[in-house]
Amino acid sequence: MTATLPETAAVDRDGVPHYRLFIDGAWVDTDTVIPVIDPATEEVVVTVAQADTSHVDAAVAAAKRTHESGVWRNTPPAERAAVIDRVIAALSGKMDELAVLSARETGMPVRLAGAIGVGFPLMHLGHYAELTRTYEWERSGPVAGQVLSASFIRKEPVGVCAGIVPWNFPAVIAVWKSIPALAAGNTVVLKTDEKTPIFALELAQLLKEAGLPDGALNVVVGDGPTVGGHLVKHPDVRLVSFTGSTATGRQVMADAAGTVKRVLLELGGKGPNIVLDDADLTAAVDGSIYAFLLHAGQACESGTRLLLPASIHDEFVARLVERLKTLKIGSPLDPATDIGAVMNKAQHERILGYIEKGKAEGATVVAGGGVPTGAGFDKGYWVEPTVFTGVTNDMTIAREEIFGPVLSVLKYESEDEAIKIANDTEYGLAAAVWSRDNQRALEVARQIEAGSVWINDYHNISQYLPFGGFKQSGTGRELGPDALNEFTQDKSITIDLSGDVSRRAYGLVLGTPPAAE
């Protein structure tokens, strides 16, 4: 079975829809082709051209030329926003088609793919368009120094920005990595993960049709260390916005240091999900499942450590296990499916390895613990939703990001202990608190070291709020009212209006000024 061929970016190559690289406004094919595999069926969904370092060089050169020409950075912000508006209009017409492709490419259920693979990009594009219109690109500054002067503070683009996109949410993260940078007048080279390249390449086509100048956005697809590493180290790249694992984030930071690039990192997490003893149990049980099972747990800000008070622990776990039995794991294309497949063989083995480690370290499996069997599971990469109880915070399954459908349940005696356990991690991306008492939950939320804390909810990432990590979960913020700050640099300009040489600081160097002419 082959996927529907979208009208635009893909062409036919050997009977399969095929995507190419997008460099300087043109599609560039390569001899080496990567199959994009459906994680649920192991079928080839599409193929994609594989970049090497020469393609990265060509993409950066195009982005640099376009930046220096001024064609995009001197385009008034309202016109830049209008380009984004046109992308929104075009993308709205492709929602169903892209949702199916996203489900096939990522293994996430099509219901979720519609929301996160297309709905989120649309909402976030709208937010960035609005910000582009309302952002204060230039303002008057104070009188500088002792003399009569005027000053301005300008927000200027940084230059060529690199955006590196992981495979788990390739659509919305491609938007985060490219659109605010473009909105701020930069040019961009986007590197998508080779397992999930479709949306970024579709976005390139939509931006081109919407009037983005050639070279302003370039998309390369390829392997991380070679293609991504070359991009990060490239001397003409001024900023790197990276989303991926903390281990790779460290490497990106080190590689960027050689040319003193600005680095924005969105990395991993080990989110504490704290249920207080007065929580609404029905809501908290459903919320805790949602927290760890979205996209089969392959979400950076998942709630993977469930902290339960001893007083309600057993009842809560029993209800959670019963509720899990009502969920449907299976084909991502079935609208009734709740849980899809995990990304690939490597990811499958990694998750199962963590499950074995949890058992070996003494935690108890109370749900799942292996691979589902039966019809539909003979092909593809599947892991049962798995719940461990008896977990202590020093166990591997409580400390390391598993990135799969695995929940570690930890018991606590007091709120102080819960906060201590929650913060005892190198990560700090997201957390949640469940309570019927908002004030009480708020007191706890204020003490959690994380960039986002949800009360009586989870995964509520809003385009209107900043999103990013504390500690080793990252640097910088995406979304929110200040999103464009990350992609601009401040320039101050002062004008001496005094005309009076004797009042200036020149005397510090030149001694007594000459008599006025």
Report the catalytic residues: 177, 266, 300, 478
Q: CB count, 10 Å around CB of 84? A: 24
Contact between 297 and 402 (Cβ < 8 Å): yes
Q: State which of residues 109, 159, 163, 268 lies at the interface with ligand NAD (CB under 6 A).
A: 268
Which of these ranges, 262-270, 351-359, 390-398, 487-495, lies near ligand NAD under the rule CB under 6 A?
262-270
Which of these ranges, 46-54, 244-252, 434-442, 488-496, lies near ligand NAD under the rule CB under 6 A?
244-252
Which of these ranges, 83-91, 134-142, 211-219, 260-268, lies near ligand NAD under the rule CB under 6 A?
260-268
User: Cβ 491 to ligand NAD, closest distance in Å?
Assistant: 29
Of residues 463-502, those binding ligand NAD (CB under 6 A): 469, 474
Contact between 313 and 411 (Cβ < 8 Å): yes
Identify residue 203 by its one-letter amino acid code.
Answer: L
User: Cβ 200 to ligand NAD, closest distance in Å?
Assistant: 10
User: Cβ 106 to ligand NAD, closest distance in Å?
Assistant: 11
Q: What DSSP designation does 484 have?
A: G
Q: What are phi and psi of 247, to 5 degrees?
A: -60, -45
Q: CB count, 10 Å around CB of 500? A: 12
Q: Which CB sits closer to ligand NAD, 273 or 435? A: 273
Q: Is 449 in the site for ligand NAD (CB under 6 A)?
A: no
Q: Is 245 in the site for ligand NAD (CB under 6 A)?
A: yes
Q: Where are the beta strands (DSSP E) in 124-248?
A: 138-140, 149-157, 160-164, 187-192, 217-221, 239-243
**Residue sitting closest to ligand NAD (CB):** 224
Q: Which CB sits closer to ligand NAD, 369 or 469? A: 469
What's the CA gap between 394 and 389, in Å, rounded?
Answer: 14
Q: CB count, 10 Å around CB of 349? A: 12
Q: Which CB sits closer to ligand NAD, 38 or 401? A: 401
Q: Is 296 in the site for ligand NAD (CB under 6 A)?
A: no
What's the CA gap between 174 and 171, in Å, rounded?
Answer: 5
Structure tokens at 80: 């830049």
Which of these ranges, 36-44, 228-236, 324-332, 389-397, lies near ligand NAD under the rule CB under 6 A?
228-236
Q: Which CB sits closer to ligand NAD, 185 or 197? A: 197
Structure tokens at 276: 């207080």
Q: Which CB sits closer to ligand NAD, 48 or 366? A: 48
Structure tokens at 447: 């003490």
Distances (CA, A) of 280 to 271, 438, 440: 20, 12, 14
Contact between 444 and 418 (Cβ < 8 Å): yes
Which of these ranges, 22-30, 45-53, 95-103, 220-228, lies near ligand NAD under the rule CB under 6 A?
220-228
Contact between 225 and 196 (Cβ < 8 Å): no
Q: Is 105 in the site for ligand NAD (CB under 6 A)?
A: no
User: Cβ 357 to ligand NAD, closest distance in Å?
Assistant: 17
Q: What are phi and psi of 461, to 5 degrees?
A: -80, 125
User: Cβ 493 to ligand NAD, closest distance in Å?
Assistant: 35
Q: What is the residue whose two structure tokens read 């380009």?
A: 83
User: Cβ 164 to ligand NAD, closest distance in Å?
Assistant: 5
What's the CA gap between 61 and 67, in Å, rounded?
Answer: 10
Q: Pattern 39-78, binding to ligand NAD, x per CB under 6 A?
A: ----------------------------------------
Contact between 234 and 78 (Cβ < 8 Å): no
Q: Which CB sits closer to ligand NAD, 195 or 313? A: 195
Q: Which CB sits closer to ligand NAD, 156 or 223? A: 223
Q: State which of residues 186, 241, 243, 488 lies at the interface with ligand NAD (CB under 6 A).
A: 243
Q: Pattern 372-391, binding to ligand NAD, x per CB under 6 A?
A: --------------------
Q: Is 45 exposed, middle or buried (0-12, 13-18, 19+ CB in 10 A)?
A: buried
Which of these ranges, 7-15, 38-46, 239-247, 440-448, lies near ligand NAD under the rule CB under 6 A?
239-247
Of residues 401-420, those binding ligand NAD (CB under 6 A): 401, 403
Q: Is 225 in the site for ligand NAD (CB under 6 A)?
A: yes
Report how many residues bind ligand NAD under the rule CB under 6 A: 29
Of residues 135-174, those binding ligand NAD (CB under 6 A): 164-169
Residue 168: closest CA among 383, 343, 401: 343
What's the CA gap between 102 and 476, in Å, rounded?
Answer: 27
Q: Is 248 in the site for ligand NAD (CB under 6 A)?
A: yes
Helix (H) and strand (E) counts for the chain? 16, 22
Which residues neighbour 474 within 8 Å (Cβ) at sequence distance 6 or greater? 249, 264, 265, 266, 267, 429, 451, 468
Q: Is 458 in the site for ligand NAD (CB under 6 A)?
A: no
Query: Phi-psi region for residue 101, left (φ > 0), alpha (ψ -120 to 50) or beta?
Result: alpha
Where is 102: in which H helix or E strand? Answer: helix 95-106
Q: Is 224 in the site for ligand NAD (CB under 6 A)?
A: yes
Q: Which CB sits closer to ligand NAD, 244 or 309? A: 244
Residues of the shown chain interacting with ligand NAD in the complex, contacts defined by CB under 6 A = 164-169, 191, 193, 224-225, 228-229, 232, 243-245, 248, 251-252, 266-269, 300, 401, 403, 429, 469, 474
